Structure 1
Amino acid sequence: MLDTAVEVFWRDGFHGASVPDISKATGLSTSSLYNAYDSKLGLFEAALDRYLDVVVGNFMYRPLLEGGAGLQDIEAYLDRLESTVTTAPPRGCLAINTIAEFRDPSPAVAKRTERYREELRAGLRAALNRAVERGEIAAGSVETRLDSLVPIIIAFNLFLTARVPDGETRGLMRAARAVLRG
């Protein structure tokens, strides 16, 4: 049920997803949803947690954190990210979409989007530190690379959601690779 709610929010956003739409997609009554999550926002927070744990954590960050290579692990991450350009319809990243959608998020939503950014930095930092150990990059360049890569990755996901032409969107991945290789 929560995975279905993730899909609805990812597709429609928080404001675009109505409780009746979520009820229909999950097969649960509106009262069951409210009994379980107290509110639409409570369900959204649970769905965002699920997305961060499963989609982002397992598919995107875990290989960065636990990889055995340095730059190659980040290249593989960027490849996974770039492969989402062909997703139809393109939907970017639920966490980034949430950052864009909420101009003044509740503390609970802000905490989750902060978690996304912190975990992105931690995964990239781990792989960059392995790159330093392997002699692929200079030791003093890790933070500078992070400060460039994180906003590029966020912009990439925003471009996907906004359906910016593929060439421009892929251009961000070229920029990320240029920063990576320094």
Structure 2
Amino acid sequence: MLEAAVLCFWAQGYDATSVKDLVARTGLTAASLYNAFGDKRALYQKALDHYVEAGISDRIRRCEALPPLAAIEAFFGEILTRSLEDRDRKGCMLVNAALDVAPHDPEFRSAVAAVLRRIEAFFLRCVEAGQADGTITRSQAAATLAQHLLGILMGIRVLARVRPERPLLEGTVAPALALLRWGADGSL
């Protein structure tokens, strides 16, 4: 049921999704939805939490099992695949929430910002570990590289909404990954 709500909100956005849409998508009655979640906003929060846990948190857990540079490459590889296979151009529900709901709702802004900090922290852990083992450049501070990777990620997910073109998306990621390797092997 929660997955159905995720798909509904993800495809249509918060404002455009009505309780009637949620009833049709989940198969529950409006009364059941209200009894279970209280209101549409609370259901949206649960749906967003579910999306983050099933997608973003799971991806981070899987990638963290890899060596640092490979973890970052695998993370972006999955993002590219998801972006290119998104026939409906739904994009990322987290990015959609950042643009659709967070600007007008301090609680959602805080929730989205917390997830973005978790992603940045994942990148930071990978970069620090890669700098320690010599697989990632030390030409930039680890925090700066992690912030750059977060920006690249957000850019890809936004671009994929309107231009899900393989050369464009891969061309956005490639220089970021090259930057991580720059000078790591002793070359310039």
The verdict on a shared fold, with TM-score over 0.5 as the criterion, is yes
- Rounded to whole Å, the distance in 2 between the matches of 1:4 and 1:130 is 38
The residue number in structure 2 matching 1:108 is: 107
Query: Runs of 5+ in structure 2 lacking a partner?
Result: 183-188
Give the whole-Å Cα distance in 2 for the aligned partners of 1:51 and 1:105. 21
Q: Percent identity?
A: 26
1:55 aligns with 2:41: no
Query: Would the aligned equivalents of 1:71 and 1:136 in 2 still touch at CA under 8 Å?
Result: yes
Given that residues 48 and 112 in structure 1 are in contact (C-alpha distance below 8 angstroms), is that contact kept between their aligned partners in structure 2? no
**How far is 1:83 from its partner?**
0.5
Task: Note if 1:79 corresponds to 2:77.
Answer: yes
Greater shift after overlay, 140-149 or 12-21?
Answer: 140-149
1:55–1:40 Cα change, 3 Å: same
Q: CA RMSD in A?
A: 1.8
Letter of the 1:82 partner, please give it: L
Q: Deviations over 1:37-62 (max 9, x none)?
A: 2211111011111111111111x211
The structure with the larger Rg is 2
- Give the TM-score, by structure 1 length: 0.89
Preserved contact between residue 124 and residue 145 of structure 2 (Cα < 8 Å): no
1:178, distance to aligned residue in structure 2 (A): 2.8
Alpha-carbon spacing, 1:31–1:131, altered in 2? closer, same or farther (3 Å): same
Structure (1/2) with the larger helix percentage: 1
Note the alpha carbon deviations across 1:108-161, whole angstroms, 9 max, x for none: 211221122111111111111221221112455311211211111101111112
- Number of the residue aligned with 1:180: 180
For residues 175 and 30 of structure 1, the distance between their equivalents in structure 2, rounded to whole angstroms, comes to: 49
Map 1:123-138 onto structure 2 (within 5 A): 123-138=122-137
Structure 1 unmatched runs, 5+: none
Moved more, 96-105 or 39-48: 96-105
Q: What secondary structure, in the 3-state scheme, does the structure 2 residue paired with 1:15 have?
A: coil
Counterpart for residue 120 of structure 2: 121
- 1:50-96: CA deviations, max 9, x gaps? 111111111x21134x3240111111111111101122123221101
Structure 1's 114 and 69: CA in aligned 2 closer, same or farther, altered over 3 A?
Answer: same
Aligned to 1:27: 27
